[in-house]
Chains A and B, each alone.
Chain A
Amino acid sequence: MKVLLFIIATMLIHSSGLMAQDPIRVGSKLFNESVILGEIITQSIENAGFDVEYSDQLGGTRILWNALLTDELDIYPDYTGTIVFELLGETEPLTIAEINRKIEVFGIQITNTLGFNNTYALGMRMDHAEDLGIEAISDLREHPELNFGFSNEFLNRADGWPGIQSTYNLDGSNVTGLDHDLAYRGLENENIDVIDLYSTDAEIDYYELKVLEDDFGFFPDYAAVIVYRSDLNKDVQKLLGNLEFTINEADMISMNADVKLKGIDDEIVAYRFLNGIFGIEITHQSDNRSDRLKETTIDHLILVGVSLALAILLAIPLGIAAFQFKKIEQLILSMVGILQTIPSLALLVFMIPLFGIGTIPAMAALFIYSLLPIVRNTHSGLVSMNNGLKESAVALGLPKSVILKKIELPLALPSILAGIKTSAVINVGTATLGALIGAGGYGQPILTGIRLDDTALILEGAIPAAVLALLAQWFFDLIEKRFSYPT
């Protein structure tokens, strides 16, 4: 119990911060470009002397947008197209001024473009395009012999191939659908001539590709902008303004390539960029693997330990109540059952309006997930008690509460422990998703590893998580042995 209180206390101190001035809270999405932009924003604000708390690689647009709405975050980078189509549900593009008028009511504003557009585009090998004299998409009409290899999503989206084909009146006889990574390789070994890509993909430089000009203006703008709360400190707003029109497509492509293909740290890439433009000097301390592992382990243990402990404290009484009061038995069992059917990611997102982002909402979600196995096993362990034993217990003349404490619960203990063990193992695994809402833990290196295509980094999260699951299992086996009796 003391340990638990200590953990909760440290956690609260940790999450509330002891600084006099609230830090500026920056977020970013799960992919490289967003993480780099978030890093650039963070460092340029930090450089002006503000405290910044950067929650990188959060689980998706909705999570970030909601975090801004609920005052859990102040700033994150996004794209005009995403805001217009995905968040506002518009069907026609809007200008930045129009967007700002629409989102004013939410207490949110966006900056002007950072200087580049990350939208769908068509690309070819540079030398091939030069040979054929192709500069723009409309030039493709002269070359019906070219092979097109498109990602399946692009093939099917109205704002993808079908729209391009009719707008530019292109021949569609040589089109195949394939995986995006395979498309680059197909292009390299000349099986494919034209592919779809994002206009700031890291691979554009690496494979020496030419991005064809969208000369009919078919693809909507996905201009990179910074989204921020209107009540953000005015000086910080000015700093964000300084970043407008500073990054062009070529800059972004090369920064993406630095991170994804050359394996340079996001922080360093961002720092080099800022240093080049503003002459910003920041002493960069890169953390080593063992420090990082220690940090993710502590985060993960706190996530799992607190959520599981609280779940045990609630679930065992619930299981007992379901056993003792027939009227609420089904209600309790089906309620915890239904909670379990909510997809984990959805549950995490539901927690944001209630608890914001970070450790607390992740803990709440894990807590909910841990209930069912313990409730169910407590209940079934009590129900399955041998009739003769039950009868002997009652016949002795012991009151119900004593029978429960001295006989029923001890006899149900193996089943209860098995439930806790199941919860613990599920919990350790699910807790890796906590990184999607900024809770840290072993999910952090896994997400980064996936983003950077870095297997070693993925294993840095996956292996300790597996070990922890085994340790949890072993620990509860030990407890079970401690309470076992000859049979």
Chain B
Amino acid sequence: MIKVRNITKKYGATIALQDVTLAVKKGKTVALIGPSGCGKSTLLRIMLGLVEPDSGQVEINEALLSKESALEIRQQVGYVIQKGGLFPHLTAYQNCALLPKHLKTSKDEIEERLQELCDLTGIEIGDLSKYPSQFSGGQQQRISLMRALMMDPPILLLDEPLGSIDPLVRYDLQSDLKDIFKRLNKTVVLVTHDLGEAGFLGDEIVLMNQGQIIQKGTIQSIVKHPNNEFVSQFVKAQRNHLEEIE
């Protein structure tokens, strides 16, 4: 369970986040959506203590995030960034095994877990000896997801996890992700640019603009009852061109 209270973050004159308050219940998925630069990634970073807010608090599973608690909290959170963030000097296997090895997980357990995750994400287990640059963008993101899931963390923070994946694979992966979230009962915050994806994966959608939360709710409430002109513009801009053909 995640609680974010009155978070404000400025970069010089730029206000990245202004008085943001948000709660994600255990087992629920929240989809963060909004125009580029509205503060989505910054909010995720603050939840992990990667960036320190100017004011406000973060609570993860009842524990207040601080310098002292950060390490332990991070180990309970899987984090996947836009470009995957795989370490280029380590094989896919070594990337995934980094944290488990540090936590003294046995080799057998690691390999067993990797087999499960490969089945889940559709990566060939034999390919894990390859280096990140030898995978496609979509495969890299799946491996990145595997790395985040290795220690089976209760919380997942995903920053555009399906950003560079082609529509067909993306469609399949969206179903797989939803399945993973629900089956494993994960608490998830997921950033996406696609309202459809947000609606499909998210129990709740949080629409942001210029560092503030503009509207929260289900996909239906946002599409049917936009709070203001910005929300209706945003929804309109997301209309699929295919719909217009009919």
| A398-B102, A402-B102, A486-B134 known; A391 vs B88 contact (CB < 8 Å) | no
Known: A391-B50, A396-B99, A398-B99. A407 touches B87 (CB 8 A): yes
Q: Are A397 and B88 in contact (CB under 8 A)?
A: no
A238 within 8 A of B: no
Are B99 and A392 touching (Cβ within 8 A)?
A: no
Q: Is A391 a contact partner of B133 (Cβ separation < 8 A)?
A: no
Are A486 and B131 closer than 8 Å at their CB atoms? yes
Pick from B81, B85, B133: contact of A487, CB under 8 Å: B133
Interchain CB contact (< 8 A) of A485 among B74, B81, B88: B88
Chain A residue numbers with a CB within 8 Å of B102 are: 398-399, 402
- For chain B, the count of residues having a C-beta within 8 Å of the partner chain is 27
The interface residues of chain B lying within 8 Å CB-to-CB of A396 are 74-75, 79, 98-99, 147
Residue B15 at the A interface, CB < 8 A? Answer: no
Whether B71 is near chain A, meaning CB under 8 Å from some CB there, is yes
Chain A neighbourhood of B99, CB < 8 A: 396-398
Q: List which A424-452 residues lie within 8 A (CB) of chain B.
A: none
Q: In the bound complex, what is the Cα–Cα distance between A391 and B72 (angstroms)? A: 16
A393 at the interface (CB under 8 A from B): yes
Complex Cα spacing A396 to B133, Å: 20
Closest to B75 in A: A397
Query: In whole angstroms, how far apart are the Cα atoms of A389 and B84 in the complex?
Result: 9
Which residues of chain B in 17-76 are interfacial with respect to chain A, using CB atoms and an 8 Å cutoff? 45, 48, 50, 71-76
Beta-carbon contact of B131 and A394 below 8 Å:
no
Q: Which of A389, A397, A407, A485 contacts B131 (CB 8 A)?
A: A485
Q: Is the CB of A394 within 8 A of B88?
A: no
CA distance A411 to B82 in the complex (A): 20
A245, chain B: closest CB distance, angstroms: 75
Question: Is B79 in contact with A395, judged by CB distance below 8 angstroms?
Answer: yes
- A487 closest partner in B (C-beta): B133
Q: Does A49 contact B (CB under 8 A)?
A: no
Bound Cα distance A319, B77 (Å): 32
Complex: how many Å from CA A413 to CA B88? 13
Question: If the complex has contacts A396-B74, A396-B99, A407-B87, are A391 and B131 also in contact, measured as CB distance less than 8 A?
Answer: no
Is there a chain A Cβ closer than 8 Å to B83's Cβ?
yes
Question: Nearest A residue to B74 by beta-carbon distance?
Answer: A397
A393 CB contacts on chain B under 8 angstroms: 87
Q: Does A464 contact B (CB under 8 A)?
A: no
> Closest residue of chain A to B80, judged by CB?
A392
Residues of B within 8 A of A411 (CB): 87-89
On chain B, the residues within 8 Å of A89 by CB distance are: none
Closest-CB distance, B130 to chain A (whole angstroms): 8
CB-contacts of A365-395 with B (<8 A):
388-389, 391-395
CA distance A393 to B79 in the complex (A): 10
Determine the distance from Cα of A406 to Cα of B131 in the docked complex, in whole angstroms: 16
Whether A186 sits at the interface, judged by CB under 8 Å, is no
On chain A, the residues within 8 Å of B86 by CB distance are 392
Contact at B71–A486, with CB atoms within 8 Å? no
Contacting residues, chain B, for A388 (C-beta < 8 A): 81-83, 85
State the Cβ distance, A417 to closest chain B Cβ, in Å: 13
Please name the 4 residue pairs, one residue from A and one from B, whose CB atoms are nearest each other, closest first. A392-B85, A397-B74, A397-B75, A395-B79
Chain B: residues with CB nearer than 8 A to chain A? Answer: 45, 48, 50, 71-77, 79, 81-83, 85-90, 98-99, 102, 131, 133-134, 147
17 A-B pairs in the complex with CB atoms less than 8 angstroms apart: A391-B50, A392-B86, A394-B50, A395-B81, A396-B79, A396-B99, A397-B74, A397-B76, A397-B77, A398-B102, A399-B102, A407-B89, A411-B89, A413-B89, A485-B133, A486-B133, A487-B133
Residues in A lying within 8 Å of B, measured CB to CB: 388-389, 391-399, 402, 406-407, 410-411, 413, 485-487
Apart from A391-B85, A396-B75: 20 A-B pairs, beta carbons within 8 A: A388-B81, A391-B45, A391-B50, A392-B81, A392-B85, A392-B86, A394-B50, A395-B48, A395-B81, A396-B74, A397-B72, A397-B73, A397-B77, A410-B90, A411-B89, A413-B89, A485-B88, A486-B131, A486-B133, A486-B134
